[in-house]
Amino acid sequence: SDESKGICWNEKTTEPLKAAIDDYIAKNKDNIDLTRIYVGGYSMGGKMTLRMAIAYPEMFAAAFPICPAWSPDRAALSYIADMPVWLTSGKTDPLVNYYFSVSKTFENLSAVTNVPEDVRFSTLSKVCFEDGKRCTSAHHSWYAVNHDMFSADNGDYPYMSTVNGKGEDVTLTYPDGMISWLCSHTSDYNGEPSTGKGNLT
């Protein structure tokens, strides 16, 4: 398998990735708003998004895992109880099961979060491009994120609904999509390397 060959994101890669981020910050500190470091990715990158956020919650102001290929339990998610998190997934995703993985992650996160109004879950009943044309795979829910959760004409993204951690519908009004949501969140991070409060390794 790819995992046995070491060519995927797993628990052994959190520390090397954190070291790479620390190195980048050290070299570019004057040009980085350290209070606005966000983590996101899709599929296995969504898995790594959750792993990094849980391992180093003090570093990230918010996280946006997309169809994450990992469903952490409530104990692990409690490390990010104060972090805004926006999940995105397609209901018919053939690779990362919506019901047993992503929806379960949102359910667990909603149960432990201290900021339910800042936890979101966008569901695509049909995974499409921003013009409404169906994507080649229902796994490609990152297209919605790539277009800031809006359609080609800046309206509602096709076949998408969003709720917060309280179960309330969230209405997105252009231009306030995911980028605006991310930028509205900050942390107390000062750039100092840390070992992580919730390190999973």
Tens digits of per-residue pLDDT, 23-44?
999 999 899 999 999 999 999 9
Average pLDDT in the chain = 92
* pLDDT score of 5 more than 80: no
* pLDDT score of 10 more than 70: no
Residue 7's pLDDT band, with cuts at 50, 70 and 90, is low
Q: How far apart are CA 198 and CA 51, in angstroms?
A: 9
Residue 160's pLDDT band, with cuts at 50, 70 and 90, is very high
Residue 2: predicted pLDDT:
44
Q: How far apart are CA 104 and CA 111, in angstroms?
A: 11
Q: How many CB atoms lie within 10 A of CB 30?
A: 5
Residue 9's pLDDT band, with cuts at 50, 70 and 90, is low
The four Cα atoms 189, 192, 198, 199 give a dihedral, to 10 degrees, of: 140
Say if CB 41 and CB 65 are below 8 A apart: yes
Residue 11: predicted pLDDT:
65
Residue 105: predicted pLDDT:
98
Write the pLDDT tens digit of every residue in 49-76.
999 999 999 999 999 999 999 999 999 9
pTM of structure: 0.92
Could you tell me whether strands 160-164 and 119-124 are parallel, antiparallel, or unpaired per DSSP bridges? antiparallel
Residue 14's pLDDT band, with cuts at 50, 70 and 90, is confident
User: What contacts 170, CB < 8 A, 6 or more positions away?
Assistant: 120, 162, 163, 164
Residue 1: predicted pLDDT:
36
Q: How many CB atoms lie within 10 A of CB 190?
A: 10
* pLDDT score of 193 more than 80: no
Say if CB 189 and CB 196 are below 8 A apart: no
